[in-house]
Structure 1
Amino acid sequence: MRSDSRSASLAVALALLCLGPLGPSVGAQEADSFNADAFFGSASGSESSSGAAAEAGATGEAGATGEAGGAGAYAAAPRPSGLSFSGEASADFLCAMSDPFDSELRTGSYMGLSSLRLDARGGDRESSKLEASLAVKLAYGAAADAARTAASAVLAGVPGLAAYLFGNEGPVMSLELKKLYFSVYTPFADISAGRMILNYGRGTAYSPVDLFSTVDSSGLQLGRSGSDAVRVLVPFSNFSGLDMAATVAGAPEDGVAGFRQYGDAFGVDYGVSAFRDGGDKGAGEGGTLALGLDLKADLVVGISAEAVARLPLDAEWVPDAGRAVYSLMLGLDYSIGGRLFLDAEALWNIEAGDAAATGQFPEAFNAFASISWKPDELGAFDLRGFYHSDGDAEAVLSASRSVAAGATLAAYAIYGYAGASSLSFGARLSVAY
């Protein structure tokens, strides 16, 4: 991440802070999620029915009785299940200050942020499913101005378009389709297609083997971006298999495609991957060949490690090892009494030739650390920080408390340095449903 690009990203990060959910995860919310079929009524069978049972219903088989004929024999097969909904709504108020922090010289701004995320799941969890996630975001004050500035830079080629879409004043609303994909589970392979979160890495923040998703650090919790892709997972056993994926790009040669073989050996989870990144043509006309190894083991502490060699490809897709870029990641995590959680990661990028390191964190050295303390079931204190060898850094400190069923109140402070320092204080109220 270069200094000039990070300066812009830190400015926009405040406008996008509402992307980071503070409430329970989607998985935690699913147990209490709204079920459309249960509410409106449905003729569908139980969600836990297997694909074989659904097939029997489709062919008119009557189980042990084996009766055929009659209207029941030709009745339409019941739907496996309906849609279940969950999500989160949040509202933020922030005060941001920039360097210098002298009371007479400093400058500050106020902003408001609100967001609504709607998650939907449907289908038979045994044989197929549909999953979608839509986020609606509304920015006020300085956050709206930052969003307009960023949009104007992107849409500079069409004069007046940014003003037409976002206006010259007032709040700015945006929509983001975070996920929309389906999965089909067959006896031989699991097939998924659409916009999904593909994350092959072992790290919390740094995952050089992961060519599909990027880390979103603008919120109070780290998130991952989605990718438009097709994925085929062929299981060898309960703990091993072959995972193949390819992104959907404007031209096939511009996408990311390859495979990862994963498994378990001597108590260590491992993955070996080979992907061609057609979008990375800065080093070679044919893109880049990324060969990766990732490991995860739980000893006294949790240990994660990744190693990647990115080899530039010429127009004939021949790799050039003399111009390779190597990335190494080492991570440690530890918990004490189920209340205190520690996480630390380091990432090194080594350039063997004239090819420059690419990706979200291209600096020679990058460091990440986080501490989370949960004094009880209702409260939490979190501190996390990033440091990059070019001198840029950021840190987030937050304290949250559950104030009602599904409702959380949080206070936080954000510090960032990318050539100049900035400091923000904010409060958030979020409700999960």
Structure 2
Amino acid sequence: MALRRALSAAGGRWAQGLCSAARRDTVFAVSSGHGKCGVAVIRASGPGCREALQSLTGRPEPPAPRVLALRRIRDPATAEPLDRGLVAWFPGPHSFTGEDCCELHVHGGPAVVSGVLRALGRLPGLRPAEPGEFARRAFHNGKLDLTAVEGLGDLIQAETEAQRRQALRQMEGELGRLYQRWSETLTQALAHLEAYIDFSEDDNVEEEVLSRAQRPAAIVSPVAGTTRDVVELSLNVGGYPVVLSDTAGLRAAADPVEQEGVSRARERLQQADLVLAVLDAGAVPAEPGALGEALGAVVPPAAPQPRVLVLNKVDLVRGGAGALRDACARAGLPPAAPLSCKTGEGLAGLVELLRRQLERLCGDPLAGSPSLTQTRHGQHLRACRAALARYGRAAGADLALAAEELRLARRHLGRITGHVGAEDVLDIIFRDFCVGK
């Protein structure tokens, strides 16, 4: 089995080499849309970009990297001036595609644009780009994974502020990193399981290795200041995927390590979409003024994010949750969720309150485009979950079968980001892109 997987991996690398060789040509297209406009941007990517700039500008050297330079642009075949515009040079790998790239910012009249495109097309080794080819090259060169490519497509199509914000976060790799963390967890579990299958008879692997697919998220202590780093956990709250970040809290700290924890808490506070201010209800009088001061100490009143006031240890408060909720309402404070982590009282109410807040932030998930996943994401995630369920049933009976189910679950996650078996979905991903992106 190990030899078969090794040969399969070698075949994948050989196919990748063929694909890379096929991309040695240089492609170009209008990247700023079509029609009359003040400025049109023509992009080229590939090994011939440097020579193309030399031919069109008549200069022996390109401009400084990532600096716009004013140049006269001419047709190399006839020496006829075509326009006077700005050119930019992006040497690989520090470019959108990871290859040598250049851009020509010319006047957007149809005659100017078509003249420059014809001049580029006459140069040896250059051809017009196919739809989505720039993004596809960025994927093959490791500049984007498939979720980031889809985020880029969503960003181009975004019509609302919420769509723009979600697409930008996905394009910057936030969703891909989440899937990658899950994939790494499955990879580690699979490695442990295969090691146990191969070497357990030689007593080289402890039986406890089978219990390492699960671990506590953090050490919990009643002592204040013991949380230092940010502890994150991915959750499904009412159908909305969220990342919950538990921080050290905000306090005046004397210890340098705790000061760093507080600093990271402030940084994460600025990045958060929704802030949960957790207070000890037993230490705060059920009076509007006292509650307002306590909340202001945790989250500044001028914080732009929506806030939820979580009042823990309600089982220690005289009058219980009702008295605290009434006090918060009279004080005009943010929505409050009294609860007791000890007894579980109020937990369902907190989840429902979070669901309503997330619906305001993200919109109704049943209306418009999904905020997190494409259709194929859901298909692969459901298949991954089914494989994990089969793994759980097989783990106590047939470890080889369990390992195969774990490998299948990992493969489905990899197909989302493009890190495993992506070739069969590439055409679907890129065919919807416009030429020039």
Normalising by structure 2, report the TM-score: 0.20
Larger Rg: 2
Q: TM-score, normalised by structure 1?
A: 0.20
The structure with the greater share of residues assigned to strand is: 1
Q: Which has the higher helix share?
A: 2
